[in-house]
Structure 1
Amino acid sequence: MVRVALLSNPKSTGNRQTLPRVRSYCASNPDIFHYEVEHVDQIGRALQTIARVEPTVIVINGGDGTVQAALTELYQGAHFPGRVPPIAVLPNGKTNLIALDLGIHGDPIKALERIVAIAKAGVDEHVVARELIALSDGQADSRPVLGMFLGGAGLADSILYCRNRIYPLGLSNGLSHFLTALAVIASILFGIRGRFMPPSTRPVSISLIRDGQLAGRFAVLIVTTLEKLLLGARPGDSRTGNMKLMAVDQSVPALFRFLWASLFKGLGKGAMQGIHMAQGDTIRIEGDRSSVILDGELFEAAEGRPIVLRSTAPVPFLRLAA
């Protein structure tokens, strides 16, 4: 009996070093069915094959784009009639936010060993429900893309700056993120601009159905359905919706309040000027060429073509810590 179905993308950055070990481990373990894809377009067919072996758990082993495409196909592809098996995500890619939220970190082989052990013993105590973010242009006939963490406004610009300017330097992820943070802070504090600095943020409008609208320039915009927002913030009342939103004004005082509250775990514990936190089930993001990044993939709003976010029905995930 197959306990774990592992879907791997050998072209993801993290797998270039770890995949040979993963292949060796899977080859010696009859409890694992290992399927590899080289492009996200192959994920639908992969999940059709995986459904035939009826796994107890599905594990995604790839970068942010692979995870996003697999979640979209699992939710919309109807490959598992009745109920999708719980999903786990191996630590891979640049951010690993979904894996961290599920308590999966460190060496991928050790994480995989733990997942196999849980699948053998029984998964019920480890299954948690998470809603996904369905991103679309709001049209009835559009096929949404699904994910769990969206960064927009200045945060999206910073991610793109790191991806296009800092990562090519070949530095470690930690150092790359540190240098990006320094450049972003310098551009906000001192107004430094230039070819090798992060771009200035564009105006954006954020609408929460039933809860009003925010408009302006934001240094940070986060929407997520993960259990915790980045840096530990927990906003709002879940009765208003499952998507958590945090926006920080593009101003020096707001940025300092945000950094201070982040360091001392004060985010979400009280109102702070320039820091906006809310929850909702439908969010519209509008602006002229305003970028958002959903689980590593870039999308762009335009005049008359907003980005619409809706939360989905709960999806089962496997959390390692019961």
Structure 2
Amino acid sequence: MSEAASPPVIGVIGNPRSHGSRGLRGEALRRVAAQAGERVLLREPEDRAALRQALSGFARAGVRVVAVSGGDGTLREVLTALPAAWQGKAPDIALLPAGKTDIVAGDVGHSGRGALGLRRLVKALAEGVALRRVERPVLEVNWPGEATRRLRGFLFGAAAFAEGHRLANAKLHGNGFFGNAAVGLTVAAMFGRAVLSGQGTLAHGQEIQVVTDRVARPTGNRFLVLITTLDRLMLGLWPFADNGKGPVRWLDIQARPRQLGRALWAVSHRGSNRSWMPAAGYESGLARQVDIQLHHPFVLDGEVYVPGEKGVTLTAAARQGFVSV
């Protein structure tokens, strides 16, 4: 089969509404895709139905690498749509980060932003260069009693995490703070408010019940609940212990946590001794399933969602491959 007749090597899902894909950057991505000819299929779906259609088209065309030009939210939508849209073995994903924080790309790697990353991918595959490949378990969020409602992503957060997300959108992103700068300022603001404020979510927490592999954690209000299947977060922060078994990493911090400064130092030094933390209200570990009963919105990969009457259940049975140059 000639090179011209070969199927597309890369299918690209572009999100022109992502922070890093607007204006000239979006035009540059389209230009690189056009120059690649039949080796690239670029789709910019406007809604979830169009996204499923685009992914199904990629599968029929023989695409084995799907590049995602967008942020963590765009990746979440692609991962959620893949099982219904793709028959057989799922494709590898290549990230072209264009979001506000791009936490997943910071863990699994990427080939560069937008047009630069796509150009490097096209060149590497055309020349037969082996791509770096890693796998991560995919976090699946289900609403008990609602069989058709589910999401797939990588980072779940509630209570102070949801408040931090609101703060970042309201105060930081609009003023030009993104990536590590936004994360650092958000963490500082959250901990500062938790120490200085005498009221509100950060002071009193939210009523949340966490159950890990059918073991109920202590009842009461929570300052922060964080769950992920990634191996690294931004700024080197790592609040998870290796207790237990399973692909789901969970963190459960009781409201009015003690020794916040010492705790922040510990989570910024991965592997530090944290034997004192459970007694101070910080618990974390590994699990196969986490059930969360909560009444306030939570955040999954940058988007706010409302839990069901029975809360949400989180598992991670499937794994996703990521490739980069």
Q: Bin the TM-score by the shorter chain.
A: 0.7 to 0.9
Letter in 1 for 2:113: D
Q: Aligned to 1:236, what secondary structure does the other structure show?
A: coil
Deviation at 1:135, TM superposition (A): 0.9
Q: Aligned to 1:143, what secondary structure does the other structure show?
A: strand
Letter in 1 for 2:306: E
Deviation at 1:27, TM superposition (A): 1.4
Asked if 1:276 is matched to 2:283, the reply is yes
Q: How does 1:70-149 map to 2 (within 5 A)?
A: 70-74=78-82, 76-79=83-86, 81-104=87-110, 107-120=113-126, 126-139=132-145, 141-149=147-155
Partners in 2 of 1:267 and 1:123 — Cα distance?
A: 39
Asked if 1:63 is matched to 2:71, the reply is yes
Task: Show the counterpart of 1:6.
Answer: 12
1:58-98 CA deviation, whole Å, 9 max, x = no partner?
A: 01112333221111111x2142x321111122112112111
1:30-68 CA deviation, whole Å, 9 max, x = no partner?
A: 322211122334201111222222123101112333221
Asked if 1:226 is matched to 2:230, the reply is yes
Q: State which of 36, 40, 54 in structure 1 corresponds to 2:44.
A: 36
Task: Show the counterpart of 1:264.
Answer: 269
1:118-156 CA deviation, whole Å, 9 max, x = no partner?
A: 434558763322221111212262331111111112111
Partners in 1 of 2:22 and 2:273 — Cα distance?
A: 39
Task: Show the counterpart of 2:169.
Answer: 163
C-alpha contact (below 8 Å) 1:40/1:66 kept by paired residues: no
Letter in 2 for 1:264: H
Deviation at 1:247, TM superposition (A): 2.5
Root-mean-square deviation (CA), in Å?
2.8
- Identical positions, percent: 24
TM-score (norm 1): 0.85
Gap runs ≥5 in structure 1 = none
Task: Show the counterpart of 1:244.
Answer: 249
Query: Residue 199 and residue 85 in structure 1: after superposition, are their counterparts in 2 closer, same or farther (change >3 A)?
Result: same
Q: State which of 31, 34, 39 in structure 2 corresponds to 1:24.
A: 31
Query: Residue 114 and residue 246 in structure 1: after superposition, are their counterparts in 2 closer, same or farther (change >3 A)?
Result: farther
Gap runs ≥5 in structure 2 = 1-5
Partners in 1 of 2:233 and 2:173 — Cα distance?
A: 24
Q: How many residues align?
A: 312
Query: Residue 164 and residue 319 in structure 1: after superposition, are their counterparts in 2 closer, same or farther (change >3 A)?
Result: same
